[in-house]
Amino acid sequence: MNYERYPWLRCVGTSDAAHLRDQAEEKIQAARKQYLSTGAVTFPEFVSPTALSSILKDCAAAEDEAFTTDDKHTPHQLPVDPIFQPPDSVRNLQMRTQVASIAYDELPKESELVKLYRNPKLLALVSAITGRGDGSSEQIYLSEDSLGACSVNVFRASYAHSFHFDESEFSTTIMIREANLDGSGLFQYTPPLRETSDDLV
């Protein structure tokens, strides 16, 4: 984490200095308000420059072996339903996604990205922002999925991940490299669309 830009992160999930705890609480509440109103929170330069450089090197070393998906899907990532939904329904819209992925088990265990994923402070931060912290009946945990727990999406020229509803309630995404083509590399999202957990499917 970039403690120089975000010094208050040092005390997230700890009992460090009171003035930093107060600052952290203020920042977290502001982030939670943004999360609830827009569906996303951004922390520019969240990763320190040194760690980012190391992450880029690890990803570059594994990039050529990244598994490529080239497939069509609907926004809900469910099969087309011609019987109960009209053909022109968004539910049946077919879109193409091309993306290569570096799986969690392909990343070096000492990678700065893996260290960040397993850093208790990151889990504490996400838990606090989403309202799933200590005392919550819906506490969150790290995934132990050997492939998808912490994976890297690689977008080559013309690749794109079409709009879709995530299969999870929320995700944590780190943009580790800027697109090198004008007009590309856009990360888009919408304000919250799903009102209940039933809307996940």
pLDDT the model gives residue 8: 93
pLDDT at 201: 46
Q: Which of 169, 124, 172 is nearest to 152 (CA)?
A: 172
Residue 196 lies in a domain: no
Assess contact for 1 and 119: CB atoms under 8 A.
yes
DSSP 157: T
Q: What percentage of the chain has pLDDT greater than the value 90? A: 57
Percent of the residues in the chain that have a pLDDT greater than 70, as a whole number: 93
* 198 lies in some domain: no
Tally of domains in the chain: 1
Q: Is residue 195 in a domain?
A: no
Q: What is the domain range of residue 14? A: 7-187
Residues 6 or more apart whose Cβ sits within 8 Å of residue 55: 47, 111, 112, 113, 176
Residue 170 falls within a domain, yes or no? Answer: yes
Backbone angles phi, psi at 130, to 5 degrees: -90, 0
Per-residue confidence band for 22, with pLDDT thresholds at 50, 70 and 90: confident
pLDDT of residue 16: 62
- Domain presence at residue 193: no
Picking from 47-51, 74-78, 162-166, 197-201, which range would have the lowest pLDDT averaged per residue?
A: 197-201
189: pLDDT strictly greater than 60: yes
- Report the distance separating Cα 160 and Cα 188, nearest Å: 12
Within-domain flag for 2: no
* 116 in Cβ contact with 161 (< 8 Å): no
Dihedral Cα 160, 123, 48, 32, nearest 10 deg = 80
pLDDT at 85 over 90: no
Q: What is the pLDDT of residues 9-18, one digit of tens each?
A: 998 977 665 6
Q: Is residue 66 predicted with pLDDT exceeding 90? A: yes
Quick check: is 201 in a domain? no
In a domain, 169, yes or no: yes
- Residue-level pLDDT at 78: 86
What confidence score (pLDDT) does residue 195 get? 63
Average pLDDT of the residues in 9-29: 82
